[in-house]
């Protein structure tokens, strides 16, 4: 993802957010443009663009600088990331075996077990978590930004495998964004449908990411609900032209999965959609416009 | 084509139950990844469909059987088809895609569909499978399962997609009173439908799809334990003795153990008095009191620990009574209770904490409690109390005491459930609030930044405007200074006036010249006319002269012929004169 503000003057320090280098994991996708402060130039220099990643070698090398700096727009992304963390914590819930004799010589043959939440309880809580990620836009109605979806799903799912990311960067760095957007969008919709198994979501994300990087076509024959979901998510993504992903797209479709989604969206519309506040964004206005133009050009091309 | 009920089957060529039901059907669905808590799913569906008249036992049977078999079939490990066989699936055996459970209902029937992938270990022989299942002559374990499920359904449909080995079992149940169940007693054989490709096909829509998570499960699965009404005895109610006949006190006797209902009422009273006192206190302070979930939760906890404290003290009192009565010294004593399984750090007096103000900050208190719940401290504490009470019960021989402890145990269990429910609600509310607050904070920060930037722009614009004003002032000053040295201007003015005068005189001269020029033009025209007239006259004279010459030439030869030679000199002089 391109970002034009390559350098910032040192006077911008008071507007930038800091992150310790040591807290960043290798191959984690960055939430926004990442800067380093170079003392020699007395300037902040862009080292990573949004959704790019650091390798472990890079992080070791940059550890001397101690901090990475992010523009203030990243503050609006943080709640999205936190929502992702919450969703992940829900999906990670497993049964707890409570053995009161732990540590003693005598083991309890029939220990108490605290079961994980049932599928519908999880589905309910997940919908309550993802619902506020939908924003009401003045022109597009209720929609969600693919960038925010990617940030959210990146927190929900495991990090993409290192070797796959490196290979993707070598293959086509421009295509990575599209692959990330599409795979995240499929996972995001799967969460709406009550898919609450983290392993399945991880596999699904990786599968779509690889298919997009390898320029494979979506499945020709639809054999199950998952195939149908992938098909309709691709259609909606193409329809959006990598801009806002609109909710009303699904009301125009006549397939089973769209009906299911539509009925779930009805609940979001009624009680969960984030309509009071302006949507989160990572780009400043000029950057966003430029980015949109660039992406449109790329899609048209 | 299977036919069941008044409504015709709309379609069978796609997966899902909606095609088997009318357009007004509601379809409840869920994506299942493990069979844990499937009982809770069946509870929820049974509760939701309670008033529809569906046979609950059949509903639960089909659902549980089909889901367990589907899970067994779809899990990756190789094993037999029947559940609970030698190698059972566990948590490390996840499904690669979900089992889709659908339960649709219209005005006359219920359709329960379970869609899953058939294991590669099972050979599906669809040829005459329907006959084998209906005759109860299964060929393999899969068909055994079909026979089993068919026993609980009014109609069974098996949908199969060969290439992906995707299977859907749909069991149809008629609703009593809405459908002629007598006719359905004659069971038709299982319908087998082969599905080819589903892409691009329009599906038969139900009225609504409802994910099970969208149901109000907290309300539907609310437990009613302890709220049962104890019917009064026919032998009358005994009242406690009074001091005098005039006394109107009527206190019933014989209720040594606290019933759950009484405990609830007592608790409500205590809550009401506590909140009332708090409200009064706040009103006195000028604060508006609201009964928040946090305060309720705190009160619940404090009440719970109060009761436990009472229980402990009563137990110790009993013990001392027993000692006084010369009973066994091995009964439960205070030391036994105090030296319980509870760890020292777990013995927290919440009431004391609340009073001490440590939990005065609701957020801190709730965070602390949630942290404890997460790590299982509270759960452990409650389980510890349970085990303690169980041990006490074992040690007591007195049946009244057992009944009493059972009552307390029920109360504690119920309280624990209340606390758990409240905690879940609370955590959800807190999460939502936190998210909202953070969003609001972010929005406010953004707004502030936008305002700051606009302020900066305005201040810049103001500075620029000030600069312009300053420059204008400077220019004005310069102009004023220039006006003060006006000597040159006088000269310029004189020169200007002179130049104007010269210009005026030049203009006048120009006009005069123009007039003269016009006069000359007129004269020139007159002269030209005269010249033309003269020319014409000259031409006329020339013509006349020519005429005269010609006349002269003609007349001279005639005279010569008339006068001879002498007379010739005199005529010639006379003709020349005439000419």
B118 close to B165: Cβ distance less than 8 angstroms: yes
Q: What angle do CA B101, B99, A146 make, to 5 degrees?
A: 100
- pLDDT at position B103, please? 92
DSSP 3-state assignment of B121?
Answer: coil
Q: Where are the beta strands (DSSP E) in B189-326?
A: 191-195, 208-211
Task: Report how far residue B576's alpha carbon sits from residue B559's, in angstroms, rounded to the nearest whole number.
Answer: 13
Q: Is ipTM strictly over 0.85?
A: no
Does B26 or B72 have the greater pLDDT score?
Answer: B26
Does A9 or B364 have the greater pLDDT score?
Answer: A9
Give tens-digit pLDDT for B256-280: 444 555 555 655 565 555 445 545 5
Task: Report how far residue B145's alpha carbon sits from residue B119's, in angstroms, rounded to the nearest whole number.
Answer: 14
Buried b (16+ CB within 10 A) or exposed e, B413-445: bbbbebbeebbeebbeebbeeebeeebeebbee
Residues 366-395 of B with CB under 8 A from A: 376, 379-380, 383-384, 387
B28 close to B104: Cβ distance less than 8 angstroms: yes
List of residues 6+ apart from B377 with CB closer than 8 A = B346
Q: How far, in Å, are A133, A140, B337, B492, B496 from residue B505 at the CA level?
A: 90, 79, 134, 20, 14
Cβ contact (<8 Å) for A263 and B36? no
Task: Report how far residue A243's alpha carbon sits from residue A230's, in angstroms, rounded to the nearest whole number.
Answer: 18
Tokens of A13: 């320090």
Residues 394-433 of B with CB under 8 A from A: 428, 431-432
Does A251 or B406 have the greater pLDDT score?
Answer: A251
- pLDDT at position B326, please? 39
- pLDDT at position B350, please? 45
Task: Report how far residue B123's alpha carbon sits from residue B116's, in angstroms, rounded to the nearest whole number.
Answer: 15
Please report, rounded to a whole number, the percentage of residues in chain A having pLDDT higher than 90.
15
Query: Is the pLDDT reported for residue B349 higher than 90?
Result: no
Residue with tokens 């004189």: B494
A80 close to A157: Cβ distance less than 8 angstroms: no
A43 close to A8: Cβ distance less than 8 angstroms: yes
Q: Which of B100, B205, B443 sits opposite A259 (nearest CB)?
A: B205
Cβ contact (<8 Å) for B445 and A75? yes
Residue B210, Cα to own-chain centre: how many angstroms?
A: 16
Task: Report how far residue B5's alpha carbon sits from residue B108's, in angstroms, rounded to the nearest whole number.
Answer: 7
Query: Is the pLDDT reported for residue A277 higher than 60?
Result: yes
Task: Report how far residue B199's alpha carbon sits from residue B201's, in angstroms, rounded to the nearest whole number.
Answer: 5
* Average pLDDT of chain A, as a whole number: 82
A252 close to A42: Cβ distance less than 8 angstroms: no
Residue with tokens 């990643």: A53
Task: Report how far residue B176's alpha carbon sits from residue B197's, in angstroms, rounded to the nearest whole number.
Answer: 36
A156 close to A187: Cβ distance less than 8 angstroms: yes
Q: What angle do CA A196, A200, A205 make, to 5 degrees?
A: 110
List of residues 6+ apart from A47 with CB closer than 8 A = A34, A35, A36, A62, A68
Task: Report how far residue A207's alpha carbon sits from residue B210's, in angstroms, rounded to the nearest whole number.
Answer: 28
Cβ contact (<8 Å) for B211 and A120? yes
Bridge partners, residue B29, by sequence: B102, B211
Give tens-digit pLDDT for B50-63: 888 888 898 899 88
B294 close to B359: Cβ distance less than 8 angstroms: no
Each domain of chain B, given as residue ranges in start order, spans 18-218, 260-420, 519-555
B159 close to B130: Cβ distance less than 8 angstroms: no
A114 touches chain B (CB under 8 A): yes
Q: CA nearest B142: which of B82, B62, B202, B224?
A: B82
User: How near does any CA of chain A get to the CA of B218, in Å?
Assistant: 9
Q: How far, in Å, are A36, A47, A288, B248 from residue A4 at the CA level?
A: 15, 12, 10, 89
State residue B379 phi and psi, 5-degree precision.
-60, -45
Which chain B residues are within 8 Å of A228, Cβ to Cβ? 198
Give tens-digit pLDDT for B56-100: 898 899 889 888 888 888 875 544 444 444 444 454 466 778 889
- pLDDT at position B217, please? 83
A141 close to A248: Cβ distance less than 8 angstroms: yes
- pLDDT at position B343, please? 38
Mean pLDDT of A101-106: 63
Tokens of A272: 């969960």
Pairing between strand A141-144 and A135-137?
A: antiparallel
**Banded pLDDT at B200 (limits 50, 70, 90):** low
- The CATH class of the B18-218 domain is alpha beta
A132 close to A144: Cβ distance less than 8 angstroms: no
List of residues 6+ apart from B366 with CB closer than 8 A = B294, B297, B426, B430
Task: Report how far residue B500's alpha carbon sits from residue B493's, in angstroms, rounded to the nearest whole number.
Answer: 10
Residues 200-259 of B with CB under 8 A from A: 202-203, 205-206, 208-215, 217
DSSP 3-state assignment of B93?
Answer: coil
* Average pLDDT of chain B, as a whole number: 72
Which chain B residues are within 8 Å of A112, Cβ to Cβ? 383
Mean pLDDT of A31-56: 87
Give tens-digit pLDDT for B507-554: 999 999 999 999 999 999 999 999 999 999 999 999 999 888 888 877
Cβ contact (<8 Å) for A125 and B384? no
Helices in B327-375 by DSSP H: which ranges? 334-338, 350-356, 362-375
The DSSP code for B162 is T
Q: Where are the beta strands (DSSP E) in B132-207?
A: 155-161, 166-174, 191-195
Q: How far, in Å, are A111, B101, B520 from residue B42 at the CA level?
A: 25, 11, 128
A244 close to A208: Cβ distance less than 8 angstroms: no
- Residue B558, classified by CB atoms within 10 Å of its CB into exposed (0-12), middle (13-18) or buried (19+), is exposed
**Residues of chain A by 3-state class (helix, strand, coil), percent to 5:** 55, 15, 35
**Banded pLDDT at B9 (limits 50, 70, 90):** confident
Please report, rounded to a whole number, the percentage of residues in chain A having pLDDT higher than 70.
83
Task: Report how far residue B56's alpha carbon sits from residue B180's, in angstroms, rounded to the nearest whole number.
Answer: 18
R_g of chain A, CA atoms, integer Å: 21
Scanning every residue of chain A, which has its alpha carbon at the shortest distance from the alpha carbon of B160?
Answer: A223
Task: Report how far residue B512's alpha carbon sits from residue B336's, in angstroms, rounded to the nearest whole number.
Answer: 144
Query: Is the pLDDT reported for residue B156 higher than 80?
Result: yes
Stretch among A68-82, A213-227, B356-370, B482-496 having the lowest mean pLDDT: B356-370
Tokens of A259: 């009906």
Question: Read out DSSP for B99-156?
Answer: EEEEEEE-SSEEEEEEEEEPPTTS----TTHHHHHHTT--SSHHHHHHHHHHTT-SEE
**Banded pLDDT at B467 (limits 50, 70, 90):** confident
Stretch among A74-78, B115-119, B154-158, B268-272 having the lowest mean pLDDT: B268-272
User: How near does any CA of chain A get to the CA of B193, in Å?
Assistant: 15
Mean pLDDT of A55-67: 88
- pLDDT at position B33, please? 86
Give tens-digit pLDDT for A138-156: 777 888 888 889 999 999 9
Mean pLDDT of A4-10: 76
Cβ contact (<8 Å) for A76 and B446? yes
The H or E element that residue B65 is part of is helix B56-74
Bridge partners, residue A135, by sequence: A143, A274
Cβ contact (<8 Å) for A126 and B383? no
Does B550 or B11 have the greater pLDDT score?
Answer: B550
State residue A66 phi and psi, 5-degree precision.
70, -50
Q: How far, in Å, are B314, B336, B398, B431 from residue B406 at the CA level?
A: 14, 19, 12, 37
Task: Report how far residue B453's alpha carbon sits from residue B450's, in angstroms, rounded to the nearest whole number.
Answer: 5
B43 touches chain A (CB under 8 A): no
Q: Which of B41, B203, B379 sits opposite A118 (nearest CB)?
A: B41
A240 close to A233: Cβ distance less than 8 angstroms: no
Residue with tokens 């862009």: A46
A239 close to A249: Cβ distance less than 8 angstroms: yes
B362 touches chain A (CB under 8 A): no
User: How near does any CA of chain A get to the CA of B227, in Å?
Assistant: 25
Stretch among A18-27, B221-230, B475-484 having the lowest mean pLDDT: B221-230
R_g of chain B, CA atoms, integer Å: 61
Q: Which of B211, B217, B380 sits opposite A194 (nearest CB)?
A: B211
């Amino acid at each position: 993802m391109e970002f034009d503000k390559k350098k910032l003057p040192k006077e911008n320090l008071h507007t930038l957010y800091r992150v310790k280098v040591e807290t960043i994991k290798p191959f984690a996708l960055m939430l926004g443009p990442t800067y380093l402060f170079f003392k020699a130039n007395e300037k902040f220099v862009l080292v990573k663009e949004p959704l790019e990643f650091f390798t472990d070698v890079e992080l070791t090398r940059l550890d001397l600088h101690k901090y990475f700096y992010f523009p203030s727009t990243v503050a609006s992304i943080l709640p999205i990331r936190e929502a992702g963390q919450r969703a992940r914590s829900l999906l990670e819930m497993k049964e707890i075996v409570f053995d009161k004799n732990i540590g003693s010589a005598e083991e309890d043959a029939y220990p108490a077990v605290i079961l994980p939440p049932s599928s519908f309880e999880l589905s309910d809580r997940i919908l309550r978590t993802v619902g506020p990620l939908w924003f009401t836009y003045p022109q597009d109605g209720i929609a969600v930004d693919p960038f925010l979806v990617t940030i959210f799903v990146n927190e929900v799912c495991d990090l993409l495998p290192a070797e796959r990311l490196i290979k993707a960067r070598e293959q086509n760095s421009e295509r990575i964004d599209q692959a990330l957007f599409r795979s995240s969008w499929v996972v995001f919709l799967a969460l709406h449908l009550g898919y609450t198994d983290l392993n399945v979501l991880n596999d699904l994300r990786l599968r779509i990411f690889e298919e997009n990087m390898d320029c494979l076509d979506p499945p020709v024959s639809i054999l199950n609900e998952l195939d149908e979901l992938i098909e309709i998510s691709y259609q909606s993504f193409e329809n959006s032209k990598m801009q806002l992903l609109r909710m009303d797209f699904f009301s125009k479709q006549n397939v089973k999965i769209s009906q299911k989604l539509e009925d779930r969206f009805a609940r979001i519309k009624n009680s969960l959609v984030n309509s009071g506040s302006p949507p989160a964004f990572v780009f400043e206005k000029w950057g966003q416009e430029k980015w949109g133009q660039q992406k449109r050009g790329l899609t048209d091309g | 084509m299977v036919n069941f009920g008044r409504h015709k089957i709309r379609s069978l060529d796609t997966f899902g139950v909606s095609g088997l039901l009318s357009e007004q059907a509601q379809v409840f669905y869920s994506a299942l990844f493990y069979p844990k808590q499937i009982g809770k799913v069946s509870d929820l569906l049974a509760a939701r469909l309670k008033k529809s008249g569906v046979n609950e036992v059949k509903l639960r049977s089909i659902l549980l059987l089909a889901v367990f078999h589907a899970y067994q079939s779809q899990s990756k490990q190789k094993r037999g088809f029947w559940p609970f066989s030698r190698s059972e699936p566990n948590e490390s055996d996840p499904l690669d895609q979900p089992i889709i459970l659908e339960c649709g209902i219209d005005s006359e029937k219920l359709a329960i569909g379970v869609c899953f992938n058939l294991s590669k270990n099972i050979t599906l022989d669809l040829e005459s499978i329907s006959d084998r299942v209906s005759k109860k002559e299964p060929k393999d374990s899969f068909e055994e399962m079909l026979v089993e499920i068919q026993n609980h359904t009014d109609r069974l449909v098996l949908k199969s997609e060969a290439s992906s080995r995707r299977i859907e079992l749909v069991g149809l149940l008629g609703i009593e009173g809405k459908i002629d169940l007598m006719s359905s007693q004659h069971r038709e054989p299982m319908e087998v439908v082969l599905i080819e490709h589903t892409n691009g096909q329009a599906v038969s829509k139900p009225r609504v799809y409802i994910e099970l998570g969208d149901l109000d499960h907290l309300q539907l699965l609310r437990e009613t334990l302890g709220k049962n009404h104890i019917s009064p005895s026919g032998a009358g109610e005994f009242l406690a003795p009074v001091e005098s006949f005039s006394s109107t006190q009527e206190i019933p006797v014989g209720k040594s153990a606290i019933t759950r209902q009484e405990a609830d009422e007592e608790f409500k009273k205590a809550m009401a008095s506590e909140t009332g006192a708090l409200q009064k206190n706040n009103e006195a302070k000028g604060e508006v009191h609201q009964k928040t979930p946090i305060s309720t939760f705190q009160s619940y906890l404090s009440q719970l620990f109060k009761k436990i404290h009472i229980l402990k003290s009563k137990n110790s009192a009993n013990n001392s009574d027993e000692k006084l009565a010369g009973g066994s010294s091995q009964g439960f004593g205070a030391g036994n209770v105090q030296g319980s399984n509870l760890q020292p750090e777990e013995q927290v007096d919440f009431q004391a904490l609340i009073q001490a103000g440590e939990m005065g900050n609701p957020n801190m208190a709730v965070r602390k409690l949630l942290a404890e719940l997460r790590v299982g401290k509270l759960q452990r504490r409650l389980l510890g109390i349970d085990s303690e009470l169980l041990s006490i019960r074992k040690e007591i021989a007195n049946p009244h005491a057992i009944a009493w402890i059972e009552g307390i145990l029920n109360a504690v269990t119920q309280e624990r459930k209340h606390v758990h429910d409240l905690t879940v609600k609370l955590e959800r509310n807190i999460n939502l609030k936190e998210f909202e607050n953070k969003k609001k904070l972010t929005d406010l920060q953004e707004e502030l930044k936008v305002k700051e930037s606009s302020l900066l722009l305005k201040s810049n614009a103001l500075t620029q405007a000030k600069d312009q004003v300053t420059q204008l002032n400077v220019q004005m000053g310069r102009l004023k200074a220039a006006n003060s040295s006006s000597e040159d201007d006088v000269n310029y003015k004189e020169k200007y006036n002179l130049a104007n005068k010269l210009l005026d005189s030049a203009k006048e001269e120009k006009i005069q010249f123009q007039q003269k020029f016009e006069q000359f033009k007129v004269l020139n025209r007159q002269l030209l006319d005269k010249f033309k007239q003269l020319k014409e006259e000259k031409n006329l004279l020339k013509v006349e002269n020519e005429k005269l010459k010609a006349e002269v030439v003609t007349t001279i030869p005639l005279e010569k012929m008339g006068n001879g030679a002498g007379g010739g000199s005199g005529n010639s002089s006379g003709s020349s004169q005439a000419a």
